[in-house]
Structure 1
Amino acid sequence: DNRTVVAASCAAVTSVFCGFPFDSVKTRMQTHNYRSLTDCVRKTYRVEGVRGFFRAGIAPPLLTVSVLRATSFSVYERAKSSLYRLHGSSDVTLLSLGAIAFVAGGASGTAVAALSCPFELVKIQRQLQVLVWERQQRLVDPRSQPTWASVKEIVRLRGPLGLFYGLQSHLVRDLAGTGTYFAGYECIKRVLASIEGGNGRTSSGVHFLAGGLAGVFCWMLTFPLDLVKSLIQKDVTAVARHAPNGWQVARDIVRRSGFRGLYTGISVTLIRAFPIH
């Protein structure tokens, strides 16, 4: 459905413009020690200025996110249609709707994760490069280097497959996250539509509210998976040759900071979640 592709692409472009600075702050809070959201914002601005919040550059996400989001929605709609045919009955309960949406969303997330992993990996490196540079006291100031320099550095250290460093944790996050989001979206939309009444058509307000609430719900459940992914991928240029086990990373977080540590950085994520979904 071309309308799905166009709508998804437009939504992706809008979400990049609105959410990119929040995503940068989220990654910094997940991977480095800050006392609070305001502490992270203040220190980032003091050291790097406004550009610190757009460190990865907004052009690459604009080009890639549109394609990835359109692919995600296309795969989801196709998978959902196939599951509806498999279900057979025209009377789909709310529970069945949620299950169908979760499986279709999981298929969509899995398909897109393999495509998006290199882009997210490079984005994380760019977002954190000044912090890493200061900590490791490297000679070359990364602020003067283009995005392509990060790609070349990863390939130099780990070969072309290094661009898929942390793919396993990325797959787990996107399978669970995309499945949870679409399940929440479809169920919330149906409930809100029944409350709204009308002639069978769902208003734009219902779509907006369902998407926002589903985004918040999704991140509250899957944020620890995103945290583990970020911690693994930030070390792609470290000495260790293999990505650490995700379970071990999560256990280390709980051991050091308790279960609250699994939600480090969630405040800015929830602020960002409603409007961009």
Structure 2
Amino acid sequence: MSSEEPQPVATSGIKSFLSGGFGGMCLVAAGHPLDLLKVRMQTSTAYTSTLDCFRKTLAENGIRGMYRGMAAPLVGATPVFAICFWGYDMGQKIMRYTYNLSPTDKLSMNQILFAGGFSAIPTTAVMAPMERIKCTLQVSAASGSGAGYKGPADAAMGIIRNGGITSLFKGTCATLLRDVPGSVAYFGAYEIIKKTLTDQSAGQGSISPLAIVTAGGLAGMANWAVAIPPDVLKSRLQTAPEGKYSGVRQVFVEMMRTEGAGALFRGMGPALLRAFPANAACFLGVELSLQAMNKLW
């Protein structure tokens, strides 16, 4: 058995795009109920804990209510995560070009972290309006505001009627503020943990599903450990009535004045609970679909 580490397999942009989209669909299906609890806890003080939020949501809306607002992220998951993983691939290519590396040369950890942060830039353009619609739908039933929305399209039209087309992009800066450091932690943690758990002599195609699931789940938790404070600000900004806040800075100042620093970590429980299964499913979907495509072409 060779003791040399396997050389990385060069991945095309189209494969990264397609595998990322499939991974995103897996993530949404696995993690949406806990994402709903996270958003409701972030935007309301009516809940004392994650369990209290779950009980009240279940009592008010039933099991179907746990999937309220899922259509928007499910439809949006394919392009969002496709662009995210494509952006990560493009970030790696930028590093290879900058440092004159071949497509199969291994990247340093700093280069991987750059690629992770870079992935958030193109992703935000697509994610911000999707997040706006999702958060509006998730909060509407609990607050009574906009409870008549029939679905994502109706919610989008309501948002546009109330604030114009630019209102769909409310929270874009907050989304970027959340996703750049979050993506650095996300992809960095995944690569480190996957490498630690993988037998380097077994070959690139021999990464075990257990290693993928473990690395993906822990990477998701690392992401939210970094991203939860700006995510709270984003959720508050995106679900506030039109004109209440001028931007994310005002949300932060008011929150510090009225609720204190602890409010920045509201929803941490459901975010971390959701992060492991959702991102384990995401990376498993990405890796398995990528392996399947590599066999086909």
- TM-score with structure 2 setting the length: 0.80
Q: Which has the higher contact order (CA 8 A, sep 6+)?
A: 2
Query: Does residue 36 in structure 1 map to residue 40 in structure 2?
Result: no
Pairwise CA RMSD: 2.4
1:89 CA drift (Å): 6.5
| Distance in 1 (alpha carbons) for counterparts of 2:159 and 2:101 | 50
Q: Which residue does 2:261 correspond to in 1? A: 259
**3-state SS of the aligned residue for 2:48?**
coil
Write out per-residue CA displacement over residues 41-66 of structure 1, whole angstroms, 9 at most, x where no aligned residue.
Answer: 1111222222322221x333222101
The aligned residue for residue 180 of structure 2 is 175
Q: Tell me which amino acid in the other structure corresponds to 1:238.
A: E
Measured in 1, the distance between the counterparts of 2:233 and 2:109 equals 26
Structure 1 spans left out of the alignment, 5+ residues:
none
Contact 2:163 2:242 in 1 (8 A): no
Equivalent residue letter for 2:34? F
Alignment-derived partner of residue 268 in structure 1:
270
Identity of aligned residues (%): 30
- Note the 1:186-225 alignment, pairs <5 A: 186-193=191-198, 196-201=199-204, 202-225=207-230
Aligned length: 263
Q: Which residue does the alignment assign to 1:130?
A: 141
List gaps (5 residues or longer) in structure 2: 1-11, 280-297
Compared CA separation, residues 141 and 230, structure 1 to 2 (3 A):
closer
Alpha-carbon deviation of 1:24?
0.6
* SS of alignment partner, residue 35 of structure 1: coil
How far apart are the structure 2 equivalents of 1:221 and 1:49?
Answer: 32
C-alpha distance in structure 2 between counterparts of 1:245 and 1:150, whole Å = 21
State the shift of 1:88 in Å.
4.1
Q: 1:163 aligns with which of 160, 164, 168?
A: 168
For 2:15 and 2:123, locate their aligned partners in 1 and report how far apart those are by CA, in whole Å: 19
Amino acid in the other structure paired with 2:212? H
Question: Does the aligned pair in 2 maintain the 1:97–1:187 contact within 8 Å?
Answer: no
Q: For residues 230 and 122 of structure 1, do their structure 2 counterparts lie closer, same or farther at Cα, with a shift above 3 Å needed? A: same
Aligned partner letter, 2:261: F
Give SS of 1:199's match. Answer: coil
| 1:19 equivalent in alignment to 2:25 | no
> Which residue in the other structure is 1:64 paired with?
76
* Higher deviation after alignment, 217-226 or 258-267: 258-267
**Does the CA-based 8 Å contact 1:232-1:244 persist in structure 2?**
no
